[in-house]
Structure 1
Amino acid sequence: MTNSTIDVLVWGPLHEFLMQALARDFKVHKRWEIKDLDAWVADRGPHVRAVVTSGVYGLETALLERLSSLEVVTSFGVGYDAIDTAYLAKRGIRLSNTPDVLNNAVAETALALMLCLTRRISEAERFVRAGKWTSAKFPLGRGLTGKTCGIVGLGKIGKTIAKRAAAFNMEIAYFRRGEPYPDVPYTHYSDLKELARQSDYLVVIVPGGPETKHLINREVMQALGSDSYLINVARGSVMDEQALIASLQAGEIAGAALDVFEDEPRVPTEFFSMDNLVLTPHLGSGTYETRQAMAELVFTNLSSYFNQGKLVTPVNLD
């Protein structure tokens, strides 16, 4: 059903399919193309009933306050730490995200980073391109088989990572404060540092936000140890990057692989000279198939809200 009279504010450029579908069925306003935002808000702000954003763009509460008719926010991505959910709840504004459809892609990225790091793939590729193979032997890496993969955050993506790691004959352990999950066969630790001590690879996949800021600190890295590796596919805020720099420089961990950073797209320059560090530009869900599925789910949420009065994948703001 077309909702061409409904004003929708899109926070930033998103997937082509989503932008085309929104333009077809709604009255779309592109925030990044609005030259005089104050004038636009005075004119159209009271008519905006929906906002479409992503974990990259987030939201500005000061602008939302001027959208007096706003009913719903749909976000492209599973994480919503860049959105003031308390504010949305206070105003009774609904929120949806795109869970589940990116589980496999993020899990694949986590395993790819583990393999790239431990088998030194990026370093080896640079070695060959530099023409060094004719005069030197490349150093050995380490295998995954029989090693312990510690997972910090055993949600849906964490469980998918666990299955992938188990296929490499790795032992699986996880961190969760309080009681263990009753439906998983993996070893549970309620102490994060103890999980780190027992892990050969520590994979971080917890939500971002104040509760997890710098959860992975220097003490956790020191507990992980000089023969073990750290992989972050969660949010950059979860890891203390300055502590990681110090830990790598001191040889306290064997290496790290990061897909996310505290101040994206800016990356600490100290990282660039470290061969035992693999860096990727937040590509966890970056497959054609996954991004298409995410775009379709954002559009389905918005259409369902205005046509049936409910979201397909609502975020509980209570």
Structure 2
Amino acid sequence: MTKQQVLFIGDLNHSLPEFKRFQAKYECLEYKMTTRGQFVEDLKTKFSHISAIYGAWLGFVPIGGFRTVIEYAPSSLKVLAFCSVGYDHQDAHELAQRNIAMTNVPSDGAAEPVSELVVYFTITGFRQLHMYERQKLLKIPDTIDIRYKFANEEFNQKDGKINLSHERGYDFGERINKRPNLSPRGHNVVIVGFGQIGQLIGRKLHELGMNITYVKRSKLSNEQEDKLGYEATYASTILDVAKHGEVDLIVIACPATPETHHLINEEVIKSISKPFRIVNIGRGTVIDQEALLQGLNSGKILFAGLDVFENEPAINKDLINREDVVLTPHIGASTQENFDYAAIKALENIDDVLEGGSGISKVN
């Protein structure tokens, strides 16, 4: 009996036992995406009988989404399985019109590493640990001298730079450029987006001693809130939180949708009563980048920890050059464990559909 063909776009760990079993069951065709034109030609010819496509992390982003080639999808194609939690909603809709399942990966695997990154951003955002970076320690290799030189000048908000004193003296190290180094404990965090990842972020920040407010389209049920294992206050919008309470940190953990585009904007930033910090591990378009830079320049935003960017993959140079900003290149979920977990779930989704199921985590 001829094996069904599965086309692999992108890489995975070939040593996984799950992949070896999959290989024994299906004909696996590995492919490196080059151009849309070449892919279209290959779909018409050597891939005209494929039953499934495995889309690794980058997927079809280089060619503008699968919808740009969907008219050339062979009639044999039953499922397109992605390794990521996020997916292209338009692609999902177009595939559904052709009775092709699209599956993603549940957020279980991503939740832990992403929440760890939020903890990192949060701690350094309050304690400003990142400002003692290696280059400055090389220039001032003296634990007493560097504390004093960091402490007593005013922070250059416009350029986002530390001003160093030319004098010598003693300072405990409880401040940098007259900005206090604080524990997150007792401070108020607003988490925008409160799915599985947002809830785990809430648990970890609660364990740091923070007070948790969550923003979501609808309030969790009493039973769901009880299952959290920590106290969390609901707010329907960020503006609602700003009107009725203090905000020390905002964490963005929501997807990119028309409703969340520029959710954090000039109006929201101005509405918050005092300087605050912001972390984004959701999607870059949720924050208006120009409003963010204005907030940093004015001192209203004390710190930004960003793993995602509005014009990704490009990173704004004005953010790169600031010392009150910590950037990571969209690696919140990037651990070996999650890389393998996502691959296994994508393989399971393909197998389920090709065996007659509807897909374990079907999104269309």
TM-score by length of 1: 0.88
Report the counterpart of residue 119 of structure 1 in structure 2.
127
Residue pairs, 1:277-288, within 5 angstroms: 277-288=325-336
8 Å CA contact retained: 1:5, 1:27: no
8 Å CA contact retained: 1:194, 1:223: no
The 1:131–1:88 alpha-carbon spacing in structure 2 relative to 1, beyond 3 Å, is same
AA partner of residue 104 (structure 1): E
Query: Any idea what SS the aligned residue of 1:265 has?
Result: coil
Is 2:119 the partner of 1:79?
no
Deviation at 1:47, TM superposition (A): 1.7
Deviation at 1:128, TM superposition (A): 4.5
Residue pairs, 1:218-257, within 5 angstroms: 218-224=266-272, 226-257=274-305
**2:197 counterpart (157, 179, 197):** 157
Report the counterpart of residue 97 of structure 2 in structure 1.
90
8 Å CA contact retained: 1:81, 1:209: no
The 1:17–1:223 alpha-carbon spacing in structure 2 relative to 1, beyond 3 Å, is farther
Deviation at 1:259, TM superposition (A): 0.5
Residue pairs, 1:61-210, within 5 angstroms: 61-69=67-75, 70-81=77-88, 84-99=91-106, 100-126=108-134, 128-134=136-142, 135-137=145-147, 138-139=150-151, 140=175, 141-182=181-222, 183-184=224-225, 185-196=231-242, 198-210=246-258
**CA distance in 2 between partners of 1:45 and 1:9 (Å):** 8
Q: Return 143-152 or 92-101, whichever deviates more.
A: 92-101
Report the counterpart of residue 39 of structure 1 in structure 2.
41
Deviation at 1:56, TM superposition (A): 3.4
Aligned length: 314
**CA distance in 1 between partners of 2:187 and 2:14 (Å):** 41
Deviation at 1:159, TM superposition (A): 0.6
Report the counterpart of residue 271 of structure 1 in structure 2.
319
Query: Any idea what SS the aligned residue of 2:3 has?
Result: strand
**CA distance in 1 between partners of 2:294 and 2:316 (Å):** 12
Residue pairs, 1:22-33, within 5 angstroms: 25-32=26-33
**CA distance in 1 between partners of 2:361 and 2:41 (Å):** 34
**CA distance in 2 between partners of 1:201 and 1:97 (Å):** 30
Larger radius of gyration: 2
AA partner of residue 257 (structure 1): G
Query: Any idea what SS the aligned residue of 1:146 has?
Result: coil
User: Aligned Cα RMSD in Å?
Assistant: 2.6
The 1:44–1:189 alpha-carbon spacing in structure 2 relative to 1, beyond 3 Å, is same
**CA distance in 1 between partners of 2:332 and 2:113 (Å):** 6
**CA distance in 2 between partners of 1:30 and 1:4 (Å):** 20
The 1:186–1:314 alpha-carbon spacing in structure 2 relative to 1, beyond 3 Å, is same
Deviations 1:142-166 (A, max 9, x none): 2100011110011111110111011
TM-score by length of 2: 0.78
**CA distance in 2 between partners of 1:16 and 1:249 (Å):** 48
8 Å CA contact retained: 1:9, 1:31: no
Report the counterpart of residue 50 of structure 2 in structure 1.
48
The 1:89–1:310 alpha-carbon spacing in structure 2 relative to 1, beyond 3 Å, is closer
Report the counterpart of residue 259 of structure 1 in structure 2.
307
**CA distance in 2 between partners of 1:178 and 1:243 (Å):** 27
Query: Any idea what SS the aligned residue of 2:256 has?
Result: coil
The 1:143–1:286 alpha-carbon spacing in structure 2 relative to 1, beyond 3 Å, is same
